[in-house]
Amino acid sequence: MKILIVEDEIELQNTIKDSLEKSDFIVETASDYSEGIEKTVSFEYDCILLDIMLPDGSGLKLLEELKAMKREEAVIIVSAKDSLDDKIDGLNLGADDYMTKPFHLAELTARVKAAIRRKNNHGVNFLSWKNLQLDPDNRTAKVDGKDIELNRKEFDLLYYFISNPNRVITKVSIAEYVWGDHTEDADSLDFIYSQIKNLRKKLQQFESDANIKSVYGIGYKFS
């Protein structure tokens, strides 16, 4: 799962990033309004952590822009401003949660997971596709109740696919989602192919009803 932190306090930004990465999130960062807009326009995320007071604009304005673009990411406002008016404004604009600094990192992680569940999983703790079930919090996958052993990238791929059923997804989108800012770590799109090949093999071994189809010249489709 992929998170964007829009926060101008670099020390806090890094602290949150390190904490979320320990929970196996892919984390990207933006330090001001302009960079936040640029990243949200260019990439997809599961959750955005958004500060209100940014050097070149308001986080609330960025939230307005997200809603105008009909983006569906969960948004949690993380702000030093503790006024009731700010909380009401943020929630009325479509934020899913509001946390006041300082806060405990464990609580932030729990709220991120809860916000993603509400958005993607309709409030339940797992995603299902026929006889396949994923538990994002515990990063486990089962077919007919039997555990499938997946590495980190395979699980992230499967989560991305099951969250986007019957949608053609490009190889570039997959690389950006699974590797975040570090798509060069994939070395080439051939690495994505090998990961998907391994994932398909495991799903077939467990007789999963899930099917990852290749769409020639474009990418893949989960059905």
pLDDT tens for each residue of 25-57: 989 999 999 999 999 888 889 999 999 889 988
Global pTM reads 0.75
**β-strands 47-50, 53-54 pairing:** unpaired
The domain of 110 spans 2-120
CATH assignment of the domain containing 32: 3.40.50.2300
Say how far apart CA 156 and CA 8 lie, in whole Å: 28
pLDDT recorded at residue 122: 62
Domain tally, the chain: 2
pLDDT recorded at residue 30: 93
Q: What is the mean pLDDT of the chain?
A: 85
pLDDT recorded at residue 183: 56
pLDDT recorded at residue 20: 92
What is the share, in percent, of the chain residues with pLDDT greater than 90? 26
The reply to whether 146 and 43 lie within a common domain is no
The reply to whether 65 and 167 lie within a common domain is no
The reply to whether 94 and 146 lie within a common domain is no
Say how far apart CA 91 and CA 75 lie, in whole Å: 10
**β-strands 57-58, 127-129 pairing:** unpaired
The reply to whether 113 and 17 lie within a common domain is yes
The reply to whether 162 and 107 lie within a common domain is no
pLDDT recorded at residue 124: 63
pLDDT tens, position by position, 75-131: 999 888 777 777 788 888 888 888 888 888 999 998 898 888 877 766 666 788 889
The reply to whether 106 and 131 lie within a common domain is no
DSSP β-bridge partners for residue 127: 134
Show Cβ contacts of residue 84 under 8 Å, excluding neighbours closer than 6 positions: none
Burial tier of 77 (Cβ tally within 10 Å: 0-12, 13-18, 19+): buried
The reply to whether 109 and 21 lie within a common domain is yes
Helix (DSSP H) and strand (DSSP E) numbers for the chain: 8, 14
CATH assignment of the domain containing 156: 1.10.10.10
pLDDT recorded at residue 181: 59
